[in-house]
A and B are shown apart, each in its own frame.
Chain A
Amino acid sequence: MIGNEKILRFGILFVFLLFNTIYSSAQEIESKDQCFNCHSILDGKLKTPADLYKGDIHFRKGVACSACHGGISTEEDQDKSMSKSEGFIGVPGGLQVSKICAKCHSKEFETLSKSVHGQSSTGQGLIINNCITCHGVHNIIPVKSPGSKVNGKNIVNTCASCHNNAALMRNYNPGLKVDQLEKYKTSVHGQKVFSGDSKPANCASCHGNHDIQKVKDPSSKVYVTNIPSTCNKCHGDANYMKEYKIPTDQYEKYKHSVHGVALLEKGDLNAPTCNKCHGDHGAAPPEVESVSKVCGTCHVLNSQMFQESPHKSAFDSKKYHECSVCHNNHDISSPTDEMLGNGEKSVCVKCHQNDKGLRSAITMRKMIDSLINDVDVANYFINAAEQKGMDVSDVKFESNDIKKVLITSRTITHTSDIEKYINTINEGFKITNKAKISGKEAVDEYYFRRLGLGVSTVFITILCITLYLKLKKIEKKQQKT
């Protein structure tokens, strides 16, 4: 009990001291800053800065007007306080504004200068965004204050004041879309932010604040290879995401998926990352019905075939997430033929048990295994012939079609049409049979050539011996005569 009293007393003392410090700083300005004193009693436009400044964090921290505008704040005589010889600049213009802020906030200004907003604007000597574009002027309050223009709840509108303005954006990047705010409103992030939750992602969460770079700049937080880690900053933080009750292992799964490996390890910039499936400004998990449409933006044929297959209605009736039922979502692995049939890694057995569907899947698996085996045999003969120095370029070229057949047959599995599948695989068998025959023929030809050489050598040798004997006979006869 005594302990609690002590804490309470200490708390009161702390609040008092804090209030006193702020109040005394403000009091000091009110009493000593003659700029503030005079402008406070003026009318109209000249009064507004002083009125606004009362709520400004700089006012509370005791930053005098002369800190930004120059001159001598403590001087009552207007000629002296606003003397140019004393450094009075009046209303700062252009780049001067940011440079004045940089006197204290140098790091922020340095970062801003290197960002996309720090580049030259259409106006002379200006940068696209200076400090007051986002933070306001004379009424700057801490970022965490709900009224701040750059507070999590307000920043979206602050950014949209330019990015939603097609006429303005056309000056800098005519190709850049100006519907980010509209999309954001439809996103899970936007809906939560606008309903009063400050935790979900806003513009700065993904793009940064002073350090915003163009999306195509590899140093940008939203450059294609950086997107997964940017999203993961929140979505991978179990503590932060606790109240939303969604998994936080997406990044770990994605990193090892076929898409993640393609993007992060192989550097394939076309590989899908978080925003390709979920959307960027309008980010939301794909609905049950739209999964195949989302996957189908890249996997067009697979999606079309699935839509026409008997699986479509079956999945719909059970509200299955289409593609992800067999392929998973964030941890999609490279599909293998083992996914077919009834083996250990089969996905068919998830739903099918000893029915027509499973029998079809088993047939499909047997056929493709058999074709792959045939391809190996054909390659064996072709390689054997090639190693023997035979020209098999034609057969090799024709055999390239087998890759097409394998891709087609694997795609056709999405139709679940066994007849179509068999016909496709049979095309493959035709190619491998031809390749096997040609390869064998080339090997046979190799041995035939050697046999032919042997026979001709024997024949020539016999002919040589005969000629030699004939010559000896003639010479013997000549010697006698």
Chain B
Amino acid sequence: MIEKKSLLKKGYSWVNERFQLDSLISFMKKKEVPLYHGTIWYYFGGISLLLFIIQVVTGMLLLLYYKGSAELAFESVQFISAKVKFGWLIRSIHSWSANLMILSIFIHMFSVFFTKAFKKPRELTWYSGFILLALGMAFGFTGYLLPWNELSLFATKVGTDIPKAIPLIGGFIMNILRGGDEVSGATLSRFFGFHVALLPGIFTIILTLHLIFIQRQGMHAPENWEELPSASKKKIPFFPNFLIRDLLLWLIIINVLSILAVFFPWELGTKANELAPAPAGIKPEWYFLFMFQTLKLIPSRVLVLDGEVFGVLLFSIAGVLWFLVPVWDRKSKAGEKRYWLSYAGIFVIIYIIVFTIYGYIAK
């Protein structure tokens, strides 16, 4: 036992001499996390990070067998699910984790929005977080096509058709996405490249920046925190208290993922056939559904604009406005709070939930 301890210590001091672990630990010990009724929202950033790590690990394992061509993609995923030891588990976890990651990022984003954690000096954290959400959705969109099944083919056809509505450059964007006029094997190769190289590269850079920003600025305290008496300002050290809580939650998330993967394995469907007619009820992934359903409801002509152009323009403006949230939320000259932004946020949440449900119900 003594020998073991001394061996551990020896190992620690070996690393410490080279990488100054002591200073890192003392930094983490000094770092504090406010403890109040909204502390739970702090965990969703960590959960998103965990799910991203799971995506990277399971994605790399899938890459060992996946073949990114129209002729072999479906069969390779079938092989992974049926023949590779624990292949079914890895694939199911990858799919479930992807969806949970998007959900977690959404929750994280709205918690930041309503706790006003995007305010100065954290604007860059918000901007980088928004980009990470967009990249996460791009991951989902490109990954959805990779099994090359019937649903993914037609959902991608619908999805890549939308940019075509943009005047002047729409056709060019669609061509870039598809690698041709139609969704084909060329699109699959392209999406595969985006999914496993381009997007992870950009995501990692932005994620690193996002984490650096958080570390440099510390945890955001609630707005009325400063006004509270010091006795009421409860805080816990980031290390080990918050980190252990984080770990606990991570373990639970891993278990939830395992349960989902075992009880609800991700189905593969039937192989894509480019010449077959589109099956009825083609719908995108749930996180695109509110936009899809809105586009479906917009009339073919709105004022002078084509309906689809109007829809794309609407969501583009809404996206830019949401991205620039830190700019809008500035206190008035008199120092009064502006509640309209919070109301707008509530409206956005209700809109997304209602239209997502409507999208599922609608035929």
Q: Which residues of A come within 8 Å of B, CB atoms?
A: 389, 391, 393-394, 449-450, 452-453, 456-457, 460-461, 463-464, 467-468, 470-471, 474-475, 478
The reply to whether B245 and A391 contact each other, CB–CB distance below 8 Å, is no
Interchain CB contact under 8 A, A471 and B245: yes
Contact of A475 with B82 at beta-carbon distance under 8 Å, contacts A460-B251, A467-B251 already known = no
Asked if A456 and B241 make an inter-chain contact with CB atoms under 8 angstroms apart, the answer reads no
If A471-B244, A471-B245 are given as contacts, then 9 extra A-B residue pairs at C-beta distance below 8 Å, sorted by A number, are A389-B265, A391-B78, A393-B78, A450-B262, A460-B254, A467-B251, A474-B241, A478-B237, A478-B241
A453 near B78: Cβ-Cβ < 8 Å: no
B104 interfacial contact with A, CB 8 Å:
no
| Inter-chain contact A467/B248, CB cutoff 8 Å | yes
Q: List 11 interface pairs A-B (beta carbons < 8 Å), by A numbering.
A: A389-B265, A391-B78, A391-B88, A391-B268, A394-B83, A453-B262, A460-B252, A460-B254, A467-B244, A471-B240, A471-B244
Residue of A389, A456, A471, A475 touching B255 (CB-CB under 8 A) = A456
| A457 to B253 alpha-carbon distance, docked (Å) | 11
- B81 x A463 contact (CB < 8 A): no
Of all A-B residue pairs in the complex, the 7 with the closest CB atoms, nearest first, are A391-B82, A471-B244, A453-B262, A460-B255, A460-B251, A449-B262, A467-B248
- B258 with A453: CB separation less than 8 A: yes
With A393-B78, A394-B82, A474-B241 as contacts: A457 and B258 at CB distance below 8 Å: yes
Chain B: minimal CB distance from A463 (Å) = 6
* Chain B residues whose C-beta falls within 8 Å of the C-beta of A464 in the assembled complex: 248, 251-252
| Residue numbers in B under 8 Å from A457 (CB-CB) | 255, 258-259
Please tell me if the beta carbons of B258 and A456 are within 8 angstroms of each other in the complex: yes
**Which residue of chain A is the closest to B236 with respect to CB atoms?**
A475
Nearest B residue (CB) for A465: B248
Contacts of B265 in A (CB 8 A): 389
Q: Does B349 contact A (CB under 8 A)?
A: no
- Is B247 part of the contact surface with A, judged by Cβ < 8 Å? yes
A467 touches B247 (CB 8 A): yes
Give how many B residues have a beta carbon under 8 Å from the other chain's beta carbons.
Answer: 22
Q: A391-B82, A453-B262, A468-B248 are in contact. Are A474 and B240 (CB under 8 A)?
A: yes
Give Cα A478–Cα B35 distance, bound, in whole angstroms.
15
Contacts of A453 in B (CB 8 A): 258-259, 262
B residues less than 8 Å from A463 (CB atoms): 251
Which A-chain residue is minimally distant from B82 (CB atoms)? A391
Indicate the member of A389, A450, A471 with the most B CB atoms within 10 Å. A471
Q: Name B79's closest neighbour in chain A (CB-CB).
A: A394
CB neighbours (8 Å) of B83 from chain A are: 394
Chain B contacts with A in 2-17, Cβ cutoff 8 A: none
Are A474 and B244 interface neighbours, CB within 8 A? yes
Asked if residues B244 and A470 are in contact (CB atoms below 8 Å), the reply is yes
Q: How far is the CA of A467 from the CA of B247 in the complex (A)?
A: 8
B240's nearest neighbour on chain A, judged by CB, is A474
Shortest CB distance B29–A (Å): 11
Minimum CB–CB distance from A390 to chain B (whole Å) comes to 9
Contact residues of B between 53 and 86, Cβ < 8 Å to A: 78, 81-83
Shortest distance in angstroms between A394's beta carbon and chain B's nearest beta carbon? 6
Residues of A near B268 (CB, < 8 A) are 391
How distant is B228 from chain A, measured CB to nearest CB, in Å? 21
Chain A residues near B252 (CB-CB < 8 A): 460, 464
- A393 / chain B contacts, CB cutoff of 8 Å: 78, 82
A453 to B265, CA, bound (A): 13
Residue of B89, B237, B255 ringed by the most chain A CB atoms within 10 A: B255
CB of B258 within 8 A of CB of A471, answer no
**A391, B245: Cα distance in complex, Å:** 38
Enumerate B194-242 residues with CB–CB distance to A below 8 Å.
Answer: 237, 240-241
| Cα distance A450–B262 in the bound complex, in angstroms | 7
Q: How far is the CA of A468 from the CA of B248 in the complex (A)?
A: 8
Residues of A within 8 A of B89 (CB): 449
What is the CB-to-nearest-CB distance from A291 to chain B, in angstroms, rounded to a whole number?
47
Instruction: Please give, as numbers and ranges, the residues of chain A lying within 8 Å of B78 by CB-CB distance.
Output: 391, 393
B241 CB, nearest partner CB in chain A, Å = 7
CB distance from B316 to the nearest CB of A (A): 41
In the complex formed, the residue of B with least CB distance to A453 is B262
CA distance A456 to B240 in the complex (A): 25
Question: Which residues of A sit under 8 angstroms from B82, Cβ to Cβ?
Answer: 391, 393-394
A391–B89 Cα distance when bound, in Å, is 13
Nearest residue, chain A, Cβ from B255: A460
A378 to chain B, nearest CB (A): 18
Closest residue on chain B to residue A454 by CB atoms = B262
Residues from chain A with a CB closer than 8 A to the CB of B258 are: 453, 456-457
Are the C-beta atoms of A391 and B244 separated by less than 8 Å? no
In the bound complex, what is the Cα–Cα distance between A475 and B241 (angstroms)?
8
CA separation between A456 and B251, bound complex, in Å? 11
A449 to B89, CA, bound (A): 9
CA distance A464 to B253 in the complex (A): 12
Whole-angstrom distance between the Cβ of A387 and the nearest chain B Cβ: 14
Chain B residues closer than 8 Å to A461, beta-carbon distance: 255
Q: How far is the CA of A457 from the CA of B262 in the complex (A)?
A: 12
- Across-interface contacts of A478 in B (CB, < 8 A): 237, 241
Chain A residue nearest in CB terms to B259:
A453
Which of B88, B244, B245 gathers the greatest number of chain A CB atoms within 10 Å? B244
**Interchain nearest-CB distance for A480 vs B (Å):** 15
* B280 shortest CB reach to chain A, Å: 24
Q: Which chain B positions have C-beta within 8 A of A467?
A: 244, 247-248, 251
B28 to chain A, nearest CB (A): 14
A468 to B89, CA, bound (A): 28
- Alpha-carbon distance A70/B245, docked complex (angstroms): 118
- Bound Cα distance A449, B244 (Å): 29
User: What's the Cα separation between A446 and B265 when bound, in Å?
Assistant: 11
Task: Name which of A391, A393, A457, A475 has the most chain B CB atoms within 10 A of its CB.
Answer: A391
Name which residue of chain B comes closest to A392, CB basis. Answer: B82
Tell me the minimal C-beta distance from A476 to chain B in angstroms: 12
Nearest to A456 among chain B residues (CB) is: B258
Chain A residues within an 8 Å CB radius of B245? 471
Bound together, the chains give a CA A116 to CA B194 distance in angstroms of: 67
Distance in angstroms from B95 CB to nearest chain A CB is 15
Residues of A within 8 A of B240 (CB): 471, 474
* Alpha-carbon distance between A211 and B83 when the two chains are bound, in angstroms: 66
**Given that A457-B258, A460-B254 are known contacts, is A471 also in contact with B241, CB under 8 Å in the complex?**
yes
Residue of B whose beta carbon sits closest to that of A450? B262
> Chain B contacts of A394 at CB under 8 A?
82-83
* A391 close to B251 (CB less than 8 A): no
Cα A450 to Cα B259 in complex, Å, equals 9
* Interchain CA distance A113-B240 in the complex, whole Å: 102
CB distance from A457 to the nearest CB of B (A): 6
Question: Please, how many angstroms separate the alpha-carbon atoms of A468 and B247 in the complex?
Answer: 10
Report the minimal beta-carbon distance from B14 to chain A, rounded to whole angstroms.
25
Note all chain B residues with C-beta closer than 8 A to A470. Answer: 244
Bound-complex Cα distance A102 to B343 (A)? 92
Q: Which residue of A lies closest to B247 (CB)?
A: A467
Residue numbers in A under 8 Å from B247 (CB-CB): 467
CB distance from A473 to the nearest CB of B (A): 10
What 1/0 mask marks residues of chain B from 76 to 107 whose CB sits below 8 Å from any chain A CB? 00100111000011000000000000000000
Considering the chains assembled together, what is the distance between the CA atoms of A474 and B251 in angstroms?
Answer: 19
Among A449, A450, A457, the most chain B Cβ lie within 10 Å of the Cβ of A449
> Which residues of B have CB within 8 Å of A468?
248
B45–chain A nearest beta-carbon distance, Å: 20
Residue of A nearest to B265 (CB): A389
CA distance A394 to B255 in the complex (A): 30
CA distance A285 to B53 in the complex (A): 81
Please report the C-alpha to C-alpha distance between residue A258 and residue B248 in the assembled complex, in whole angstroms. 70
Tell me the bound Cα distance from A393 to B74 in angstroms. Answer: 13
Residues in chain A near residue B237, CB distance under 8 A: 478
